[in-house]
Amino acid sequence: MSETSLSALLPPLRLLVLGCGHVAQAFLPLLAPRGEWLGRELGVRPVITGMGSRSRGLYIHPEGINAETLTHQRDPSGWFSSTGTRVETVEAFIQAGKNAGASLFIELTTLNPLNGQPALSHIRKALEAGMDVITANKGPVAYAQVELQSLARRHNVQFRFESTVMDGFPLINLAEFTLAAVGIRSFQAILNSTSSLVLSMIEQGYSRDEAIHKAQQIGVAEVDPWYDLDGWDAALKTTILANTLLDGQLTPHMVEREGIRNLTADEICAAALAGSPLRLVSQAYCKHGLVIAEVRPRRISSDNILHIGKGTTGVISLETEAMGIMTLVEHEPGIAQTAYGILNDLITIQRQRSTM
């Protein structure tokens, strides 16, 4: 019997996927090529039982969508075939998915940086329905991590969000699985790649508008670049890291935030020429039992480990009680890393579940 037919005998792990943008389009094609590996390692066979988005509609496929289709047909419009049953609301999607046996809800909708909605409500409903949840959406985590983790515990399920910070670099799992008792005291990091790229292009002589335009052309900056350049993206990530690594209870509005909007090209170039370029730096630390976090432009001297962060490279340096300073560098990350972070969360959930 071939490996493929053997894995067909494994019990299904039924997934609901909400959101059909870049992240979903990078994640879903990862499943089929790893089907054999996942079967061997986890003893299950992932099956897409439901998929949808606001613009394309919400569909339940009790028989499962063929994962091969998702791998070979890159245009997601082909994924919404006539075989599924359409439902009208996300509540109905979760309920119908649950009835069809889905146990894992993957939330990949668009970010709302102001309050994390409506993704936050969707995640609450999925957890309350007894489903494990993975999200790559920073909003719900930054605004309600503690609440959602506690809700997950009450329902004996897991809530994971590795991809929300550093594009899937396993920082959150690293802290959970390998840094217990290490005592993280503070961190400093460069977390927003758009800001780094725009600053380094201004250093090379481009005007701010030219730099933003070029960053948009290569797909790093969004159509509205100010969410990144005003430090919102970094503030959301900093919130998540401060709450995860330092046991904080922050929301994004509690992070002191200053973006790179008010920096002049002259300042930016002079700092770089002097060997200590300006970058948008996230920092968090404990003071009198409170977690303090901030995002602001800082000059990075050449003996600072963050100096390594060239181009869109992300870097975080942890100051720990037991291990001294530990630094992690993610080189030129992209959507593929984010997608892998989701897969990694799926693997972690399944491994933990098999021991619960």
Q: Does 188 bind a copy of itself (CB under 8 A)?
A: no
Q: Does 6 bind a copy of itself (CB under 8 A)?
A: no
Exposed/middle/buried for 269, CB within 10 Å: 0-12, 13-18, 19+? middle
* Pairwise CA distance, residues 132 & 138, whole Å: 17
Q: Does 323 bind a copy of itself (CB under 8 A)?
A: yes
* Pairwise CA distance, residues 335 & 354, whole Å: 29
Taking a C-beta distance cutoff of 8 angstroms, is the pair 189, 309 a contact?
A: no
Q: Does 180 bind a copy of itself (CB under 8 A)?
A: yes
Q: Does 334 bind a copy of itself (CB under 8 A)?
A: yes
Taking a C-beta distance cutoff of 8 angstroms, is the pair 295, 238 a contact?
A: yes
Reduced to 3 states (helix: H, G, I; strand: E, B; else coil), residue 262 is coil
Q: Does 218 bind a copy of itself (CB under 8 A)?
A: no
Identity of the amino acid at 43? G
- Would you state the structure tokens that stand for residue 128, as one six-digit string? 């309350």
Q: Does 28 bind a copy of itself (CB under 8 A)?
A: no
Q: Does 179 bind a copy of itself (CB under 8 A)?
A: yes
Select from 8, 11, 37, 43 the one that contacts a copy of itself (CB under 8 A): 37
Taking a C-beta distance cutoff of 8 angstroms, is the pair 296, 189 a contact?
A: no
Tell me whether residue 97 or residue 277 sits nearer to a copy of itself (CB atom): 277
Query: Residue 22: which residues within 8 A CB-CB, separation 6 or more?
Result: 335
The nearest distance, CB 347 to a copy of itself, in angstroms, is: 5
Interface segment toward a copy of itself; rule CB under 8 A; list 107-115, 186-194, 229-237, 336-344: 336-344
Count residues contacting a copy of itself (CB under 8 A)?
A: 40
Phi-psi region of 93 (alpha: psi -120 to 50; beta: other; left: phi over 0): alpha
Select from 69, 95, 115, 327 the one that contacts a copy of itself (CB under 8 A): 327
Q: Does 178 bind a copy of itself (CB under 8 A)?
A: yes
Q: Does 277 bind a copy of itself (CB under 8 A)?
A: no
List residues binding a copy of itself (CB under 8 A).
30, 34, 37-38, 41, 168-170, 173-174, 177-182, 305, 308, 322-334, 336-337, 340, 343-344, 347-348, 355-356
